[in-house]
Amino acid sequence: MADAQTSTDTIAVSPETRNKDRGVVVANQWKLMWRKFRKHRLAMIGGIATIGLYLVVLFVEFLAPFPPDAYAANFTYAPPQTLHLFDNTPEGLRFQPYVNGYIVEIDYNAGRRNFVIDPETKYPVGFFVQGEPYRLLGLIEMDIHLIGPINQGDPMYLAGADRLGRDMLSRTIYGTRVSMTVGLIGVTFSLFFGILFGGISGYFGGVTDNFIQRMIEFLQSIPSIPLWIGLAAAIPAAVPPVQVYFMITLILALFSWTGLARVVRGRFIALKTEDFVKAARIDGCSSLRIIFRHMVPSFTSHIIAVVTLAIPGMILAETALSFLGVGLRPPVVSWGVLLQEAQNVRSLSQAPWLFLPGLYVVIAVLALNFLGDGLRDAADPYT
Amino acid sequence: MALYIFKRCLFVIPTLIAISIVSFAIINLPPGDYVDRLVAEGKNRGENMSEEQIAGLRTVYGLDRPITEQYIRWISDIVLRGDFGDSFRWNLPVSTLIGERLLLTVALSLSTLFFIWIVAIPIGILSAVKQYSIWDYVFTFIGFIGLAIPNFLIALALMYVSFKYLGQSVGGLFSPEYLDAPWSLEKVLDLTSHIWIPMVVLGTAGTAALIRTLRANMLDELRRPYVVTARAKGLSELRLIIKYPLRHALNPFVSSLNDVFVNLVSGGTIVAVVLGLQTIGPLLLEAFRGEDMFLAGSAILMMSMLAVMGTLFSDLLLAWLDPRIRLR
């Protein structure tokens, strides 16, 4: 495909069009795709949001003000504070970020504590402040956090606190790492299965193809969530969190490679009869070389688009399983695990900010969907 | 057509066998069986069972046999006698526990499916015919949101709103007074007044997906020459759309019903847990937590069968709509 337009410059065109389209004429496939992708505004926004989310994944410790398990029994269900950027100082309005403290009122009838924001107490807040030490990217020892209270130990709950007085903002940011990578790793697994089975199915055809297709039909005709629950419930309680994480992603991939396999198979079948594949065969290329040197590059772009569209499904599935209590388990922090806290309507009505991870799920899914849509359109730059 | 129906139904049999094997495999996956659990529970209460007692229990539940024999016993009881075994935990036949819940699951899935159709078809047509109009943008936006929000979150948000502002809980499929009442006309009416909340919650994603499918299909068809011909003939716009492009556009729509129905059964599990519905989903979750193996296995089997039946139904519908498929 990519070599098809080398001879186009012999076609007579007026000088104006030639100048305007010179880029198009000499551009390779990836450049053309980028051009098409850039025109898709939602996809651009989705792409930027996706990159942003994966940057969060990399720099979680720096972005989160506190460690995910830092609790404060005095601040159970403390409501979110507003971050004030400017303060009236004796010298006038100055840039001096702060948050207000809380006044605790005990409601004896309801048997709970109510927090009221106290405008009198101010806790200074700073950017790039010292906090809990950590290793950035697991390598560099640091203790600087993007934002945090200047005096360590001051309460700062920009997105409220949960049942144990843990900072929801920090926990949600930590949850980003687990939830976003579950999608990525799960898709890597299903890509592996998808290319393997789809490739075999499409390249060999015949009985093999028939068998694999029936298997895919079977897998697609059974409801996945009950099976996921069954498989996830089979993971023993004693298994360490990291292994649970990989088992869950593997379980998710077990049922989601089918869509990818279909795409790969379809492409293989469509390309098998293309002239350039025939030419390569006549040239004496081996099957492996034909597949990886000639066929795979021409549908990589499609695969990337399908993979991007598969990630949100993974994220949603993990969230659902963890929400039901059969997926990832605390102390692992993922969006689904956090939403488990929001399962109870009573605690939710008392602390609606427990929904925050849900908002992140929606943003991530939307961003990846828009991005995937744009990539799919751009994957065919010649149409 | 008859041949196609026959062939298609024949294909269901190996699928069902495979499903039963998968169900049975899954319930046997967790390490330790129900007797192990009973022993552990006994230990917590300070009762120590002797080896003979444990072995006796295994014999009672048939857990001492080889796994293939357990499977054959399990499946032949189901097929031949309609006996799904007993729930270890409830000490009741599984069929009693599942029966009514299965009925409610079917009712919920089917009514959601009709809800999706009724909403998605007109909106899909409208979005395509009036492409790039304000309605098109509004529905495309709502569609994206509907796809992105997991339905249990919608359920939670709805429960939060109704709890906070209406002071009542929206969960369940019945009012409390009808919960254990025998079936009567009043109970059915009560069901219809409760079912629409889970229906809407469960239907959002499917509706959004189908609107997008139908819109894309319609857009492809609307540019075809036969539409121009029909218009030139002087057909009214409404009749034209319903008679020609819609029929073509409905084909992929019907074939995508497969996925929609499977997703309904699958996604219904979580929504039912959140909203506290009396469907199979919550029972399944509880059965897995309690390692109640016959109950869990039957629940998975039932839900998968339901999905397979839905798939079969939509395939037959497609064959009826599209002669190319049944004559292939």
Tens digit of each residue's pLDDT (9 = 90 or more) over B50-71: 777 777 877 777 777 777 888 8
* Same domain? A234 vs A352: yes
Check residue A20 and give its pLDDT: 52
Which residues of chain A are within 8 Å of residue B259 when distances are taken between CB atoms?
Answer: 220
State the virtual CA torsion across A262, A265, A266, A268 in degrees, nearest 10: 160
Structural domain contains residue B1: no
Give the pLDDT band of residue A8 (cuts 50, 70, 90): very low
Check residue A97 and give its pLDDT: 76
Structural domain contains residue A304: yes
Total domains present in chain B: 1
Q: Is the pLDDT of residue A2 over 50?
A: no
* Same domain? A135 vs A196: no
Structural domain contains residue A284: yes
Q: pLDDT by residue (tens digit) across A153-207?
A: 777 777 777 777 788 888 888 888 888 888 888 888 888 888 888 888 877 778 8
Give the pLDDT band of residue B31 (cuts 50, 70, 90): low
* Same domain? A107 vs A189: no
Minimum CA–CA partner of B152 in chain A: A320
Q: Is the pLDDT of residue B316 over 50?
A: yes
Least reliable range by pLDDT among A5-9, B107-111, B253-257 = A5-9
Neighbours of B117 (CB within 10 A): 17
* Average confidence score pLDDT of chain B: 79
Question: Are residues A221 and B15, on separate chains, in Cβ contact within 8 Å?
Answer: yes
Q: Is the pLDDT of residue A106 over 80?
A: no
Structural domain contains residue B287: no
CA-nearest of B32, B273, B153, B141 to A357 is B153
Structural domain contains residue A196: yes
Question: Are residues A223 and B269, on separate chains, in Cβ contact within 8 Å?
Answer: yes
| Residue in B26, B157, B265 closest to A223 by CB | B265
Query: How close B263 gets to chain A, by Cα (Å)?
Result: 7
Residue, of A47 and A110, whose pLDDT is higher: A47
Structure tokens at B141: 């936006």
Give the end of a domain, one of A136, A159, A182.
A159
Structural domain contains residue A268: yes
Q: pLDDT by residue (tens digit) across A30-84?
A: 777 777 777 777 788 888 888 888 888 888 888 877 777 777 777 777 777 777 7
For residue A300, give the CATH number of its domain: 1.10.3720.10
What is the identity of the amino acid at A270?
A: A
Residue B139 backbone dihedrals phi, psi, to 5 degrees: -70, -35
Check residue A4 and give its pLDDT: 45
Question: Are residues B288 and A230, on separate chains, in Cβ contact within 8 Å?
Answer: yes
Which residues of chain B are within 8 Å of residue A233 when distances are taken between CB atoms?
Answer: 30, 288-289
- Can you give A169-206 as a three-state secondary structure string? HHHHHHHHHHHHHHHHHHHHHHHHHHHHHHHHHHHHCH
Contacts of A65 (CB under 8 A, 6+ apart): A131, A145, A146, A147, A148, A149, A156, A158, A167, A169, A170
DSSP string, B102-146: HHHHHHHHHHHHHHHHHHHHHHHHHHHHTTTSHHHHHHHHHHHHH
Q: Name A103's bridge partners.
A: A116
CA-nearest of A176, A167, A161, A222 to A319 is A176
Check residue B319 and give its pLDDT: 79
Q: Name A144's bridge partners.
A: A130
Mean pLDDT, rounded, for A266-281 = 83
Q: Is B308 on the interface with A (CB under 8 A)?
A: yes
* Same domain? A93 vs A232: no
Total domains present in chain A: 2
Query: How close A8 gets to chain B, by Cα (Å)?
Result: 30
Q: Quote the domain boundaries for residue A75.
A: 70-159
Structural domain contains residue A233: yes
Residue, of A217 and B291, whose pLDDT is higher: A217
Check residue A1 and give its pLDDT: 41
Query: How close B242 gets to chain A, by Cα (Å)?
Result: 29
Structure tokens at B212: 């997008």
- Which contiguous run of DSSP H or E holds residue A143? strand A140-149
Q: pLDDT by residue (tens digit) across B70-102?
A: 888 778 877 777 777 777 677 777 777 788 788
Mean pLDDT, rounded, for B214-232 = 84
Structural domain contains residue A275: yes
Query: How close A379 gets to chain B, by Cα (Å)?
Result: 18
Minimum CA–CA partner of A350 in chain B: B164
Q: Is the pLDDT of residue A289 over 60?
A: yes
Check residue A5 and give its pLDDT: 44
Instruction: For CA atoms A222, A223, A225, A226, give the dihedral sign.
Output: negative
Check residue A6 and give its pLDDT: 45
* Same domain? A202 vs A83: no
* Same domain? A203 vs A152: no
Cα–Cα distance for residue pair A312/A319, rounded to 1 Å: 10
* Same domain? A132 vs A195: no
* Same domain? A137 vs A189: no
Q: Is the pLDDT of residue B181 over 70?
A: no
* Same domain? A282 vs A336: yes
Please give the interface size between A and B, counted as residue pairs whose CB atoms are below 8 Å apart.
Answer: 120
Minimum CA–CA partner of A312 in chain B: B148
Mean pLDDT, rounded, for B45-52 = 74
* Same domain? A194 vs A279: yes
Which candidate in A210, A225, A383 is best for mutational testing of the B interface (most B CBs within 10 A)? Answer: A225
Which candidate in A40, A218, A229 is best for mutational testing of the B interface (most B CBs within 10 A)? Answer: A229
Least reliable range by pLDDT among A26-30, A267-271, B275-279, B296-300 = A26-30
Apex B48 CA angle, B47 and B52, nearest 5:
130
Which residues of chain A are within 8 Å of residue B27 when distances are taken between CB atoms?
Answer: 230
| Residue in B22, B148, B156 closest to A369 by CB | B148
CA-nearest of A364, A350, A92 to B149 is A364
Give the end of a domain, one of A132, A159, A186.
A159
Window B:112-171, CB contacts with A under 8 Å: 144-145, 147-150, 152-153, 156-157, 159-160, 163-164, 169
Minimum CA–CA partner of B281 in chain A: A226
Mean pLDDT, rounded, for A209-217 = 83
Helices B257-275/B245-255 angle, 10° precision: 60
Check residue B224 and give its pLDDT: 84
Mean pLDDT, rounded, for B164-177 = 68
Check residue A25 and give its pLDDT: 59
Apex A238 CA angle, A235 and A241, nearest 5:
75
Structural domain contains residue B128: yes
Check residue A9 and give its pLDDT: 46
Structural domain contains residue B141: yes
For residue B122, give the CATH number of its domain: 1.10.3720.10
Structural domain contains residue A91: yes
Residue A32 backbone dihedrals phi, psi, to 5 degrees: -65, -40
What is the identity of the amino acid at B221?
A: E
Mean pLDDT, rounded, for A354-363 = 85
* Same domain? A102 vs A185: no
Q: Quote the domain boundaries for residue B171.
A: 111-279
Query: How close A154 gets to chain B, by Cα (Å)?
Result: 31
Residue A360 backbone dihedrals phi, psi, to 5 degrees: -65, -40
Q: Are the CB atoms for A33 and A301 separated by under 8 Å?
A: yes
Query: How close A222 gets to chain B, by Cα (Å)?
Result: 5
Give the pLDDT band of residue B225 (cuts 50, 70, 90): confident
| Residue in A224, A234, A369 closest to B266 by CB | A224
Interface predicted TM-score (ipTM) over 0.85:
no
Question: Are residues A218 and B285, on separate chains, in Cβ contact within 8 Å?
Answer: no
Q: Is A97 on the interface with B (CB under 8 A)?
A: no
Q: Are the CB atoms for A78 and A160 separated by under 8 Å?
A: yes
Structural domain contains residue B188: yes
Check residue A382 and give its pLDDT: 55
Question: Are residues A358 and B156, on separate chains, in Cβ contact within 8 Å?
Answer: yes
Residue A100 backbone dihedrals phi, psi, to 5 degrees: -85, 155
* Average confidence score pLDDT of chain A: 78
- Helix and strand numbers (H, E) in chain B are 15, 2
> What percent of chain A has a predicted confidence (pLDDT) above 70?
90
* Same domain? A339 vs A269: yes
Which residues of chain B are within 8 Å of residue A224 when distances are taken between CB atoms?
Answer: 262, 266
Q: pLDDT by residue (tens digit) across B122-163?
A: 888 888 888 778 888 888 888 878 877 888 888 888 878 877
Q: Is A373 on the interface with B (CB under 8 A)?
A: no
